[in-house]
């Protein structure tokens, strides 16, 4: 069961050109296309006649034509032409999806309620800002999207999963601070005098840094890691910031779409650095997808799992998702999490 009445990321804007583009979101097969004016539309990817995927058809003018018997649908979902008859039955019309574009991403509203405005996540602005440079990659993963959220929220795995990119003993060893709000989970690691990970070493050409790292979750499947780096002992030196996104959208209960990318506020025109970062992010995401797919493959609901202290952020995110899934009002997650935390601590003592 997926969280309903939410905006989900469906694609990067440039993934969808004029021709039909199929993507399954929350078990719903959707076809996206653009009109000649570039306007985006999304319809059920199923012809009401013989259920052929409309994405197998083509765009004719501003309409989508079915590949089988040529029925045509307008961007609003109305059936406007049936080649073999002049009468268009009422049932031939399609219910279109509400879509929107922001910061280079395509969003689709999933749910029966009237769409709200797009989620206000100012952190996404770096994706379309001139003061930052970066790029986003797409990946498909055979995992529940929530395992992806767990992966991004809990950085203690980097030493073991990413030995040649973002591995850092300091991340695993760092004390974490957890901040939970109704619609946000944030876990902070402060790492003074940290030995540089291979990726930061390659980028910054130094061995040691002072780093603060925030791993953040916002529903439904949006995570990112904010990193602030300064050079130890250098007063008024450069402050380097990166934001690494992991944006997850459920495809089915056990598969998901993922968009990932690192945006930086320095060396904006440095193409080799952009190339290096893109290659390192690709490798890191491949490694994350592999380990999460192992978790998915091996998962058995009947086996009790052992929670570690580092899982508190993941558990808090699950609580928010559970609340949204049950349509419960906000204000409960933080309170319940505090309750759980004191319960945990009582047991730890």
Binding positions for ligand FES, rule: CB under 6 A: 47, 49-50, 52, 66, 68-71
Nearer to ligand FES among residue 57 and residue 134 (C-beta): 57
Q: Kindly report each contact of residues 19-23 with a partner whose C-beta sits within 8 Å and lies 24 or more positions away, as own/partner.
A: 19/58, 19/59, 20/54, 20/55, 20/56, 20/57, 20/58, 20/59, 20/64, 21/55, 22/53, 22/55, 23/251, 23/257
CA-wise closest residue to 314 among 145, 159, 161: 145
Output the smallest distance, CB 49 to ligand FES, in A. 3
Answer with the entry of Fe ion, ligand FES, none that 62 interacts with (C-beta below 5 to 8 A by kind).
none
Q: Which does 288 bind (CB under 5 to 8 A by kind): Fe ion, ligand FES, none?
A: Fe ion
Two tokens, residue 203? 């980028």
Between CA 221 and CA 293 the distance in angstroms is 17
Binding partner at 26 among ligand FES, Fe ion, none, C-beta below 5 to 8 Å by kind: none
Nearer to Fe ion, 41 or 284 (CB): 284
Using CB under 5 A as the binding rule, the residues of this chain from 281 to 310 that contact Fe ion are 288
CB of 86 to ligand FES, least distance (A): 15
In the list Fe ion, ligand FES, none, the entry touching 69 (Cβ below 5 to 8 angstroms by class) is ligand FES
Q: Are strands 208-218 and 222-230 parallel, antiparallel or unpaired?
A: antiparallel
Considering CB distances under 5 to 8 angstroms, the limit depending on partner class, which of Fe ion, ligand FES, none binds residue 71? ligand FES
x/- track of binding to Fe ion for residues 233-272 (CB under 5 A): ----------------------------------------
Assess contact for 342 and 24: CB atoms under 8 A.
no
What is the token pair recorded at 246?
């992991």
| Least distance between ligand FES and beta carbon 27 (Å) | 21
Angle at 13 between CA 12 and CA 19, to 5 degrees: 110
- CB of 12 or CB of 71, closer to ligand FES: 71
Q: Give the nearest distance from C-beta 15 to ligand FES in angstroms.
A: 25
> In terms of CB distance, is 10 or 47 closer to ligand FES?
47
CB of 83 to ligand FES, least distance (A): 8
Minimum CB separation of residue 108 from ligand FES in Å reads: 22
The residues that touch Fe ion, with contacts defined as CB under 5 A, are 288
């Amino acid at each position: 069961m997926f969280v309903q009445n939410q905006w989900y990321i469906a694609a990067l804007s440039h993934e969808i050109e004029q021709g039909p583009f199929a993507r399954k979101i929350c078990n719903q097969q959707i076809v996206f296309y653009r009109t000649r004016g570039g306007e985006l539309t999304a319809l059920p990817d199923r012809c009401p006649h013989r259920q052929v995927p409309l994405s197998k058809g083509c765009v004719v003018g501003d309409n989508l034509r079915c590949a089988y018997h040529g029925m045509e649908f307008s961007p609003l979902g109305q059936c406007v032409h049936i080649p073999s008859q002049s009468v268009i039955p009422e049932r031939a019309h399609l219910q279109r999806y509400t879509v929107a574009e922001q910061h280079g991403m395509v969003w689709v509203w999933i749910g029966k309620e009237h769409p709200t405005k797009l989620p206000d996540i100012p952190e996404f602005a770096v994706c379309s800002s001139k003061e930052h440079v970066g790029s986003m990659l797409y990946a498909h993963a055979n995992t529940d999207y929530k395992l992806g959220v767990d992966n991004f929220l809990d950085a203690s795995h980097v030493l073991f999963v990413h030995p040649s990119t973002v591995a850092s003993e300091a991340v695993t060893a760092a004390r974490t601070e957890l901040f939970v709000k109704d619609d946000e989970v944030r876990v902070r690691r402060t790492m003074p005098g940290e030995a540089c990970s291979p990726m930061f070493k390659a980028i910054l050409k130094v061995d040691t840094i002072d780093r603060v790292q925030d791993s953040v979750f916002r529903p439904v499947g949006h995570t990112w890691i904010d990193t602030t780096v300064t050079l130890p002992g250098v007063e008024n030196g450069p402050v380097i910031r990166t934001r690494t996104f992991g944006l997850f959208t459920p495809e089915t209960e056990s598969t998901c779409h993922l968009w990932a990318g690192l945006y930086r506020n320095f060396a904006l025109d440095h193409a080799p650095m952009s190339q290096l970062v893109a290659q390192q992010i690709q490798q890191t995401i491949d490694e994350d997808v592999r380990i999460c797919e192992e978790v998915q493959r091996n998962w058995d609901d009947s086996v009790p799992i052992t929670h570690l202290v580092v899982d508190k952020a993941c558990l808090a995110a699950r609580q928010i998702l559970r609340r949204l899934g049950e349509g419960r009002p906000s204000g409960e997650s933080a309170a319940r999490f505090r309750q759980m935390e004191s319960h945990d601590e009582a047991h730890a003592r």
